[in-house]
Structure 1
């Protein structure tokens, strides 16, 4: 276990590799000495010259950078060629190691593990060259072109071995991906060929005249200078290419984490730093710190407060910080750079690097300018990524709202139906209970929507407590709740549960100083007896609940007779048919105003029915009757015709406004609807752009393909289309984007509490942003006070309607109200 921990440290891995290389070198020479014996007494003059040459060539190397790796290219091939052809291999090894240590430690300042590895590398290189040359040429070195070719091959092979070993040590120490960049590390091979050729020419020249060593020194110095200039220029171009690659990589990364990783990787690689860090502020005052060090390891932490004395603190206020080696700073860094990273919300982060690698002296002005360029690109990408992350969170929240009721937190109709269908697909018997609060509208009207909302929340909590994990409680909408009970198979057990829930609801519910009684009517449907899918079971539980309400039975299990013989429902259907035929259905109009100007721009047409015996019948009662009985078509056409004729009258009076009419789900399945709309527009003289047809999200899902055909034909007429009650239906954002719509209406359930509930405010803000992103006008309904209106105006909502503007008015009263209207928002 201790050994494993040691090997996990980068320096330990490099030291182990160096040790094995040293052992292999010593073993090779020990075998040679045992075979051929010790070398004869050498001439000290050539050895001294070689030692100086090795020290100089290793001390003044040209660094070729490959990502975070540094491959040092030197002119050591020249003295190596001289040594291979004139000195015993073991003596050559000793001279090269001594000269290498002088150059590496004395001139380049290397220490520790890095020095140990480079000395071991020199030993392997020298031994490999000598062994390979003797293996190819035999005991006696030939002279002439064959000798030259063999020496060239040997030097290329030994340098290739060195490139592989350097790549291996970088992979062990820092980055396993370094192996992919091995071809870049071999780019110094042309220099090896050149310097080897110079060495061969030098051997021939020195054999003729030893004074040629002066010319050799001059040629070596010029070659070194020329190659260093070439490498600097090529690496300058490479740095520009890396910057372009950095921007392209950022363009392809869409989340904050991906952008941060790319920024930190590139900052470390291009600035030649041991570690990099990105500090990003959170809206709550905390900070996220992302640190990359070692083998591309990324640490992410959240801190409440940043150290006030940190060396990079000035970068938070916009001032770049450059700390070269030798500076007095508080902290554990040798050198570093920190630059500000402005973000889109006015906040600023900090990007910093610290501890430069050994192949550069320290961070300087050149690195600072490069780092600022990287930070500028990072700033734009981080701002975009943070915005996208926020949108993703809002979309995720909206998707949750599509499955859960925002008021009670319970599953909504869509989620409840999905749960029922999942259980039925598995063959699980179950019971569905549908519950409706009696006289809830009276509570809302008498005590206000705030009390009504609190009552609904308390009812949801009480139901969950009573069900106690045996099933799922959901709010289907309005004052309607549902309970799903798996494994309930008999009517008797289902009725017992229903009676228990009914009794629980009879207990007073405290709301502030009030104690309210929430009497309920419950309908029960069992699967598989009464149906096999959610739609059928909910429908039949609804029928049973309606009968329970009209008969004051409290709880009722569905029977087939309930569908056919509900006396009041049958009578109401007949009365409704007669009322539509006599045009007794009244059309009232609720104004819609622009939040920015206060101008009245339109009105929504709403149907109202005053029954001669039962009095006012709420729309949520007679509209479903019309849909289920086939009367919705004549009712819709009646409202549409009245609305267009009234709109024509108002426009002749000089009021350039539009009228909005609701379409039922069945309307989108009628192929002649566009023709009827075109005919009525022609008869009334109302331009198509002055008519808005409102559709619900769920109405499209019944037959998406057929509905799209009808919507496209209406759109072609020039009629405006609006999504009504946005956020409460079944549509997806993807389908919403594909619809040919002009408006999006936010459901009143999200609007009414935005002045006091930050969650509803977040939902409305997201809906407005989404609507504007899709180039839609956004309308909010249910505006009942000035605070709500002001919040909607601040959020950028285009149009509003509600009791604070005006209640729905009969046509003549609406005309009088419109004429007297002062076109100022303050007068709303």
Structure 2
């Protein structure tokens, strides 16, 4: 409407300009018409009557009579209002009313122009009384000699009426044309405004939404979440920030193509959106990563909702004729318990999600502590890369003892970082960053090489200890890992049966085909395979059938209270019995008391590891005979 109103102004100005132009043209046409009429009168009536006359001497009676007869009809019919023939000096030698005076002053520019051979025409008089005054030279027709000046006054009313009629017609045409033009401009303005509004709306939508799924994007999620968190800070509200991503999404892209991956993301987004309530926010942050904002929900209600979403996401769908069941990992950070800053909540939700990926649960609530998030890992990764180059890493070893005697059977290599500024760092400070980058490969290779060199050292002193080294799922998944281990054993001269590689049960669960293949190839070499932290992942002994598993290590969570808790006792006894049935040895982790030691001996556990037997130290400091004798005596009594 504003544009249409504004466009009316130039249209009206254009109309006024055109109307003034046509009015000037009409006036000019009237002057030209008067001039033509005056020329006809001069040539047809006046000049023939003055043939041979000298106006300075005056006119003869016959000349005056001839002029009167020649002009009488024009004056009588009113086509001429006043007619004067004047000499160059200004004297009136003939007037239609017989007067010898009056008329245009000699000093008038129009009169002077006529004396020099130029004609002048002008409309004079007030409105309604206009007349046309023509002043032009009189020239003899035969000789072409200038005789004098003709001052002629013609009626303007007829011309004015003709002009008005013509101008009215023109005005109507201009008005209709301008009205049509304005209508076209108004329609164009309306159409353009609507198009621009729709375009602006699309641009605004595209700037705040993911084009693939139609969900809010990262920027829109941040704006909404920050507004909700700000309100929660003022009003004491609570809720949850949830991050999730799809498990094995890359396999879909790599196997079926990105078009199938895009369709999968659309389906998952629709399924999750259908399970949310009004006020909940679901956004796609990028790739297969999504975020949820759940105002007003505590931990229990959030977990219950995510369990329903997980079930919905896991429903079978068919992509390119291939049936799929997708799984997702969810990390939850609660506000205000875990913070009111969105960045902090996202860091902690992300940490919980990655904890779930490494453990047994798909839905994990942040449990406190330091959140090792990728944005913090960037600095650690950069420093760790330099640490490998500068040889800042060191290996410590913790003894593993045989039961019941508690004599050392082997040692587990545990990496430490002698940081130049922060001092000696435990693995939890840098291993998560390495596991989520390409650094885990060179780090594991460094640990293996240094540990095998150290093993050669203690073997030379007469200690035939088995060496245990932790490797990650990413190591097993790397195509050249088995070849590297083979070459390193040959290079160091180490016996394969004196090397034990510890892997988490998560690395062997599900569809980890590469990891399973690597375990089988390593077992064929004679290298022992140990399943570390058993009981904390989402596998079971059934997953281990057919694999060359030499050892199963019971997680310290079940060992810490096994001497007093019946449930822990039942779990540990079951694991020992089933592991023995599969032909594997059993090692208990985290043994710290003599009572737990005696209980494990009674339960038939093969080996143990913990502070009771020794803490991690450089290998020359590992006790040759720790507290084996006192423990043996107490157990016997």
Higher relative contact order (CA 8 A, sep 6+): 2
Q: TM-score scaled to structure 1, two decimals?
A: 0.35
Greater per-residue helix proportion: 1
Q: TM-score scaled to structure 2, two decimals?
A: 0.45
Bigger Rg over Cα: 2
